[in-house]
Amino acid sequence: MRKSAIGLIVVGAAAALALGGCSSGSKSTTTTGTSSAPAGSASASTSSSAAGGGLDGKGAKVGIILPDTQSSQRWVTSDPDAMKAECQKVNLSCDIQNAQNDPAKMKTIAESMESNGIKVLMIVNLDSASGAAIEKEAQGKGITTIDYDRLTLGGGAALYISYDNTAVGKAQGEALTKCPQVAGKSAVTYVDVNGAPTDNNATLFKQGYDSVLSKQAGWKKADDQSIAKWDNAVAGTTFTAMLRKTPSLNAVMVANDGMANSVISALKNQKLNGKVAVSGQDATAQGLQNIMTGDQCFSIYKPSSQEAVPAIDAMVSIVNGEIPKTTATAKDTTAGKDVPAILATPIPITIENVAQPINDGYTPKAQVCTGAYAALCTKNGVK
């Protein structure tokens, strides 16, 4: 494990980052680093000159474009709310918008932000091709670009801030093997319902859980499908076809909570909910409800503050002409380069700790603990 740094070049009033040298002479693909602060924490990402005092963005303008509002609740409230709070705290003028799952709209938003004088552009790409085009256009105007949550392959972003997505996938795979529906079984038949094939995160999740499940004695994969645009409805119809083909399924490795709910609906139609192990990710209200009823085995909790806070603080460092500290690197396989990164650690959520995202304020209690779920929330330690 090692720390990597980003070299800074100031061009006029805009700062552009170039990949800097690392403290070690060795090269890595994707590594998680160590520091005195947890990876992904605010203190792990602030510049050395700002570490002794409060950060101040001096009102500088930056742009942030989130991907959609249908794949996960995190893009509707969790991440933008955490970003807004940190922007206000560090005196940064943040224009936060959502592309609504439309690459053309993301491009239009980016160009509008650039015309408005932003110094840094941070995006969650919808796919690497459109994201890279947006980033290169911004870079051509002297604007520093940052990848948030999803690495834009070939985009040349100066910094990548996310969770360790291979570790997310590994956590999903390990949790699935421990689900009560499959624990101790000598033979398990399962399928993969993966995220969008154009999303590098989905690729990394899959690498992670495949690396675990492929090594499980007696586990046999019956089908493997990726779902374009993380479309929940498509996930449901795709899984229904899988189930029709292999009705004796024991487990479903599904990439996130939204698609997991569609899988659970299909299982309910066959009265198989709770009898088949179902995975998830994002600790959504619906996902946590499904965990409490026993229809979903687990989710993956990725507190927004562990991405949003270091991302905003890094932007402050950049607009001030300083070098953000990073804790890892991530491989851009298209460009063949290592991108300086800050990678946080995911938290698996099962029935044992299902209250944690709610008690932390990440998943709103009012959205989870409604109707019949109120008693389940109390039973499972929701405050």
Are 34 and 126 within one domain? yes
- What does the pLDDT look like over 82-139, one tens digit per residue? 999 999 999 999 999 999 999 999 999 999 999 999 999 999 999 999 999 999 999 9
Looking at the structure, tell me whether residues 311 and 253 fall in a common domain: no
Q: What are the start-end ranges of the H helices in 214-303?
A: 232-245, 257-269, 285-293
Instruction: Look at strands 31-32 and 328-332 and give their pairing.
Output: antiparallel
Tally of domains within the chain? 2
Per-residue pLDDT band at 73 (split at 50, 70, 90): confident
Does 172 lie in the same domain as 142? no
* pLDDT level of residue 258 (50, 70, 90 thresholds): very high
The stretches of 90-231 forming alpha helices (DSSP H) are 103-115, 128-140, 165-177, 200-213
Burial of residue 58 (CB within 10 Å: 0-12, 13-18, 19+) is: exposed
* CA–CA separation, 348 and 215 (whole Å): 20
Q: Are residues 279 and 155 in the same domain?
A: no
For residues 146 and 275, membership in a common domain is answered with no
H or E stretch at 315? helix 305-319
Enclosing domain of residue 106: 4-163+303-344
How far does the chain reach from its first CA to its final CA, in angstroms?
Answer: 38
207/134 same-domain check? no
Q: Are 168 and 208 in contact (CB under 8 A)?
A: yes
∠ CA 219-347-30, nearest 5°, is: 80
Where does the pLDDT of residue 53 fall: very low under 50, low under 70, confident under 90, or very high at 90 and above? low
Residue 191: band (very low, low, confident or very high) from pLDDT cuts 50, 70, 90 = very high
- Residues 375 and 266 occupy one common structural domain: yes
User: Measuring CA to CA, which residue among 83, 110, 159, 149 is closest to residue 318?
Assistant: 159
CATH number, position 135: 3.40.50.2300
> Is 326 found in the same domain as 243?
no
**How distant, in Å, are the alpha carbons of 35, 46, 104, 180, 254 from that of 251?**
38, 42, 38, 11, 9
